[in-house]
């Protein structure tokens, strides 16, 4: 069943290039759904865990590429925000399983007042029967508790949605290049394994990103916590100086997400501050970035990737990093302690 792989998690990561293609084949259906939306002037995403991080990328995309006021609410906190819902709010629910109790509860509240869309992986799940519109993520069954390929497919659906909502042809064209580029990332697992060996005894990790990759930092840290039991914290690059910089000390591993693009200079400066305090830097950046020459641990990407699309690729390395740390520590990444694949209690 694992198709020759040691764990479902690694099998599912290796399926990502194909999942990207399969999800892109839903483009026409997504276009049709977008054409059916009623008038709205505000978007609200609701989700938990990894699906919440995908939603955050949706927020950055819609705010920056289209300019519709957008917010993201954790499903378990949604009931405290229901007063401002109205018929001009489009509420988007993102869930792999379609069975998450918090998300189902929130959908029941939202549909009384607003139009609802669900982005779901499991066909026929509870959420798909309640929402006004449904988009399927086409990732196939995900067995490992840690969400990997379903996150990528949620992102593809969100990018398609944004491309159609904003009539953005360029974004659409660029999306079609992503599957090929994702294959390249999977070819460097040996390098990631070396980094995993080096840091497996760490007690804490920081993941730092800005803009579109702040959610990538959060998701990288969640994967780490979930399957390696190491404390990992995702932080926006500019926010560190407002407190957590006090925790940076010699040899603490810090993953810096540094794609080329408009956010580069500021993020670079923020990472320099961290490096100067003795942290061990693991940098995800462009392979033509000469500022990275003195960095020992770096995972480099094709500089052609637009910053807007970088979350789709950079997260793959962070999934692999968490996976290999888990393996190095002798943990079964498919079955992390205390967790279930779908959380059916509130």
Catalytic residue set: 341
Residues 239-268 that bind ligand M6R (CB under 6 A): none
Reading the block at residue 321, the tokens are: 């990093």
Could you say which of 95, 126, 216, 263 contacts ligand M6R (CB under 6 A)?
A: 95
Q: Is 225 exposed, middle or buried (0-12, 13-18, 19+ CB in 10 A)?
A: middle
Number of residues near ligand M6R (by CB under 6 A): 16
Q: How many residues does the chain have?
A: 346
**CA dist., res. 252 & res. 274, Å (int):** 10
Tokens 């760490």 sit at which residue?
Answer: 202
342 scored as a contact of ligand M6R (CB under 6 A): yes
Could you say which of 17, 49, 211, 232 contacts ligand M6R (CB under 6 A)?
A: 49
Partners of 256 in beta bridges: 208, 283
48 scored as a contact of ligand M6R (CB under 6 A): yes
User: Would you say 105 or 133 has its CB closer to ligand M6R?
Assistant: 105
Could you say which of 89, 100, 213, 263 contacts ligand M6R (CB under 6 A)?
A: 100
User: Would you say 51 or 179 has its CB closer to ligand M6R?
Assistant: 51
**CA dist., res. 148 & res. 137, Å (int):** 13
SS3 state of residue 287? coil
Which of left, alpha, beta for 234 (phi over 0: left; psi -120 to 50: alpha)? Answer: beta
Reading the block at residue 6, the tokens are: 């040691």
**CA dist., res. 30 & res. 134, Å (int):** 9
User: Would you say 11 or 298 has its CB closer to ligand M6R?
Assistant: 11
Residues 51-70 that bind ligand M6R (CB under 6 A): 51
Could you say which of 16, 22, 226, 289 contacts ligand M6R (CB under 6 A)?
A: 226
Scanning the chain, the segments in alpha helix (DSSP H) are 8-14, 16-24, 27-36, 49-61, 101-110, 126-130, 149-165, 169-175, 178-186, 189-199, 214-228, 264-276, 310-328
Could you say which of 92, 131, 146, 217 contacts ligand M6R (CB under 6 A)?
A: 146
33 scored as a contact of ligand M6R (CB under 6 A): no
76 scored as a contact of ligand M6R (CB under 6 A): no
Residue of minimal Cβ distance to ligand M6R:
49
For the CB of residue 217, give the shortest distance to ligand M6R in the complex, in Å: 15
126 scored as a contact of ligand M6R (CB under 6 A): no
User: Would you say 146 or 217 has its CB closer to ligand M6R?
Assistant: 146
228 scored as a contact of ligand M6R (CB under 6 A): no
Q: How far is CA 24 from the centre of its chain?
A: 17
114 scored as a contact of ligand M6R (CB under 6 A): no
Would you tell me which residues interact with ligand M6R (CB under 6 A)?
48-51, 95-97, 100, 103, 145-147, 222, 226, 342-343
């Amino acid at each position: 069943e694992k198709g020759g792989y040691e764990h479902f998690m690694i099998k599912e990561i290796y399926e990502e290039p194909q999942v990207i293609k399969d999800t892109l084949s839903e483009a026409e259906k997504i276009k049709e759904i977008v054409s059916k939306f009623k008038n709205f002037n505000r978007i609200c995403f609701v989700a938990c865990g990894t699906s919440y991080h995908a939603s955050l990328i949706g927020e950055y995309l819609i705010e920056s590429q289209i300019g519709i006021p957008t917010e993201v609410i954790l499903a378990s906190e949604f009931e405290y925000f229901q007063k401002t819902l109205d018929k001009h709010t489009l509420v988007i629910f993102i869930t792999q399983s379609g069975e998450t109790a918090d998300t189902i509860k929130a959908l029941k509240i939202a549909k009384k007042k607003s139009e609802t869309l669900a982005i779901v992986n499991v066909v026929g799940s509870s959420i798909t029967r309640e929402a006004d519109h449904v988009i399927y993520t086409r990732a196939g069954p995900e067995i490992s508790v840690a969400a990997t390929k379903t996150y990528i497919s949620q992102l593809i659906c969100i990018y398609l949605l944004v491309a159609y909502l904003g009539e953005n042809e360029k974004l659409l064209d660029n999306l079609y290049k992503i599957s090929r580029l994702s294959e390249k990332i999977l070819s460097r697992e040996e390098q990631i394994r070396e980094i995993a060996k080096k840091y497996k005894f760490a007690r804490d990790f920081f993941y730092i990103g800005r803009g579109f990759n702040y959610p990538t930092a959060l998701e990288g840290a969640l994967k780490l916590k979930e399957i390696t039991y190491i404390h990992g914290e995702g932080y926006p690059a500019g926010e560190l100086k407002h407190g957590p910089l006090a925790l940076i000390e010699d040899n603490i591993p810090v993953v810096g997400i540094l794609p080329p693009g408009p956010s580069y200079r500021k993020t670079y400066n923020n990472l320099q501050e961290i490096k100067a305090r003795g942290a061990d830097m693991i940098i995800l950046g462009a392979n033509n970035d000469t500022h990275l020459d003195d960095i020992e641990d770096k995972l480099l990407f094709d500089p052609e990737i637009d910053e807007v699309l970088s979350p789709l690729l950079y997260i793959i390395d962070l999934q692999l990093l968490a996976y290999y740390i888990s393996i190095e520590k002798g943990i079964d990444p498919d079955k992390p302690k205390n967790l279930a694949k779908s959380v059916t209690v509130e």
